[in-house]
Structure 1
Amino acid sequence: MAATVAAAGLDRLLFGGLGVLFGIGYLVVCFQLAVRVRFADLLAAPISGPIAFAVALLLLGPVASAGVTAQVVALATGLALRAGWLFSGTGLAAVIVLARFVAQKRIHRAR
């Protein structure tokens, strides 16, 4: 989560908003999550990425006015506008996790 928020913060600091740097950072984080997670925690990898994405949007996304309703609308808008990045990162993590699961099962059957 810290890496996703850091990528969002860097993007906002350098470019004034959440754009391509945030998206690429999110893809890198999703890849690292899927590759480095323990086998027992494989299902957590595709789920953790989108949660970190949403938290980064809540913390660093643009909000038009104060209040809970404005935060919810800003979060929904941010998720909708960045759906390509969100689905790409989540899909990447899911494919890697599935490949690791199948490979581990094949190794286990071969023993």
Structure 2
Amino acid sequence: MDEDGQTPLYVAAGENRIEFVQLFIENGAAIDLTGNTTPFQIACAFNYYDIADVLYRAGAQVNYADSDGRTALFYATVKQNKKLISYLLSIGANEDIIDNEGIHLKDLSNDEIRKKLYDELY
């Protein structure tokens, strides 16, 4: 883990490097080890569906909330990735999410709120 709390698996997930994600998993990398955001969350935040699926199949926690109270479904909803949202719901993602700022997942259907949060995150 580096000084920012990022593991090699986290970096590979965030850079859409599926071959490295698979290699790290095959060699025993901790799937949910994190300083804050998990590799699964970062894959969902950047719309890396295939990486999210590999991580889920390896045991990633679907409903893990980071220090801001946000889950993978929250990030996918901010990005409006319908395929990823459907996938997350199909594997048991919790829709009843309220982050630490009091924003409910349903609030993200309001474009003004969603765009403000999108600008803050990306």
Q: TM-score, normalised by structure 2?
A: 0.27
Larger Rg: 1
Kindly indicate whether structure 1 or structure 2 has the higher relative contact order, using CA contacts under 8 Å at least 6 residues apart: 1
Q: TM-score, normalised by structure 1?
A: 0.28
More helix, by proportion: 1
